[in-house]
Amino acid sequence: MDLARRIPIRDAKGKAIVAGFVEEIRDLKNIRFLVLRDRSGILQVTAKHGEVPEEVFSQIPSLTRESVVCVEGLIVKSPIAKLGRELIPSKIEVLSKAETPLPIEFLRPEIVKTALDKRLDYRFLDLRSPKSYAIFKIQDVLSDAAHRFFKEEGFIEIHTSKLVAQATESGANVFQVDYFGRDAYLAQSPQFYKQMMMAAGFEKVFEIAPVFRAEKHHTPRHLCEYTSIDFEMSYISGPEDIMEVLEKLVIFALGEVQRRCKSELELLKVKVEMPEAPFPKITLRKAYTILEEKGVKPPYMEDLESEHERLLASIIKEETGSDFFFLTEYAWAPDSRPFYVMRKENEPDWTYAFDLFYKGLELTTGGQREHRYEKLKEQCKLKGLEPEDFRFYLDFFRYGMPPHGGSGTGLERFTMQLLNLSNIREATLLPRDPERLIP
């Protein structure tokens, strides 16, 4: 059969050739049904004994679920069929027969719901489910919207190396790799290179690329490898400029999903709640007092615990209706922000670093960076780091560096929160966690 003439199920009409996976076979002896699925939809193939070629009729019971077949026939309207139309086959060709039984069930989770880790073992099968496909279709739109947004705003896309000689942030652990006998690491963030581009005078850059964190987290929101939507921009007057870009990015991306993914959203039973700019902004100090009014007492000058972040999110949601808020002016404390953040001019205990939260989960970290060489070197020492170890980075600041800032947003977290998924692995094509390296 000529696959060049194959058309998507959704568009098929009249005499047509369609191809796809066999979703179901219902054999009633003298009338046999096949449900065929491709990316565009499903279609019932109906074969009545005596009304279709004998060869076609006898082929059907030998098929197996999820085999790949190509069917030629006539699409007819059918009031009896639930889908309203069906395909009367004149020819069926088996392109690839599926083995039985299938190792996972992935089409009707309401009947048998295979556990996530088994589904991930057979990710290629799990992804055949329209719901899985919808998640990644939406993620594609988020990522595409981000690309378009940044380009529209005058940012240029960069591609920085993921092999680095040194860890960027003191906190997270790095994966070590052997680089021809030297120690190298997988990049935890494009942070230093984005800033290098500010020194290079690129002014506005973005990168949507993988970052690596060697942390043994066992939570529904952590991965060892994730996709970071990073940007950095020069000549800002304060961290508000960064937050404004983020707000526009988020609103544009959600708008695109709403506009372009109607059927996917419906399938996943998600209604996009469009946020309005500006998003609520709460300083960390203000957050402490709000939480204290609710009877919890977070330690002063320390980052909030995730339980407190969720509580704060629910308070803000109740008061403003917003799913998003910025937590700003993080503390300049030993275990808080990295050395390269800019501290507040007149209150050096606090910084121009912020996080963006979406439905109670940290989505983005960003801020204004310290661009003054002497101050940066001093902050490096204050954090107990040796400036010589960061020579290559500190050099960026010695020959003219514009004031600048930027942020990093987790694409998978964005997808997960938007779609109310309970585990980030659902929003990750090939999740890497401390245990999983395959597939």
Partner RNA sequence: GCCCUGGUGGUGCAGCCCGGUUAACAUCGUCGGCUGUCGCCCGACGGACGCGGGUUCAAAUCCCGCCCAGGGCGCCA
* Dist. CA 9–CA 42, nearest whole Å: 7
Using CB under 7 A as the criterion, what x/- string covers residues 306-325 for binding RNA? xx-x----------------
Binding positions for RNA, 101-140, rule CB under 7 A = 101-105, 108, 110-118
Nearer to RNA, 328 or 364 (CB): 364
| Number of residues engaging RNA in binding (CB under 7 A) | 80
By CB under 7 A, is residue 219 in contact with RNA? yes
Rounded to a whole number of angstroms, the minimum distance from the CB of residue 22 to RNA is 10
By CB under 7 A, is residue 305 in contact with RNA? yes
Q: Could you say which of 216, 381, 391, 398 contacts RNA (CB under 7 A)?
A: 216
By CB under 7 A, is residue 385 in contact with RNA? no
Q: Could you say which of 365, 368, 379, 415 contacts RNA (CB under 7 A)?
A: 365
* Dist. CA 119–CA 116, nearest whole Å: 5
DSSP string for 11-27: G--EEEEEEEEEEEEEE
Helix, strand, coil % in the chain, rounded to nearest 5: 35, 25, 40
- SS3 label, residue 103: coil
For 304-369, strand residue ranges (E) read 324-328, 353-358, 361-368
Binding positions for RNA, 253-282, rule CB under 7 A = none
E strand or H helix at 412: helix 411-418
Closest CA to 66 of 127, 9, 6: 127
User: Whose structure tokens read 């960064």?
Assistant: 242
Nearer to RNA, 38 or 433 (CB): 433
Using CB under 7 A as the criterion, what x/- string covers residues 140-179 for binding RNA? -----------------------------x-xx-------
CA distances from 34 to 25, 67, 261, 372 (A): 5, 11, 28, 69
CB 19 within 8 A of CB 70: yes
By CB under 7 A, is residue 67 in contact with RNA? no
Q: Could you say which of 408, 415, 418, 419 contacts RNA (CB under 7 A)?
A: 408
By CB under 7 A, is residue 204 in contact with RNA? no
